[in-house]
Amino acid sequence: MSTCIRTMTCALLLCLGLSMAWAAVDVNQASSDDLESIKGIGPSTAQRILQQRRTAPFQDWRDFILRVPGIGDKRAARLSEQGLRIRGQAFDPSHVRPAAISTQPIGYAPRKPAPAAPALRDR
């Protein structure tokens, strides 16, 4: 009987330890060390996140992607898989790109059409 209890206790502690290893890190609460514990966030990315967070807390993933340089949809999805959360929410690509956001690079201006060539006259 005591062997069974020991085995159950060990299994419970193992499960508890594994669940803590996968604990979510909320970007609006995390320290630099907490952010760096997420695979894919190094010291420079953590500093960019903290710098933007000092301005205002992140409202959602769209806000996070727009404000933190180097973070796009693909990287946000990977970070979310590693446990990064914004206000408790995992990344959901369907809520990130509303139609109002341009997909063109910043500073992009379409070319103006070339002026028409002068018409040739018959002589």
Return the structure tokens found at 42.
């190094």
Element (H, E) at 25: strand 25-26
Alpha-carbon dihedral sign for residues 34, 38, 43, 45:
negative
Is the pLDDT assigned to residue 66 strictly greater than 70?
yes
> pLDDT digits over 2-46, tens only?
665 666 555 544 544 444 445 799 999 999 999 999 999 999 999
Q: For residue 25, which of 88, 70, 96 has the smallest C-alpha distance?
A: 88
**What integer pLDDT is reported at residue 4 of this predicted model?**
55
Is the pLDDT assigned to residue 102 strictly greater than 60?
no
> pLDDT digits over 41-59, tens only?
999 999 999 999 999 999 9
Mean pLDDT for 95-116 is 62
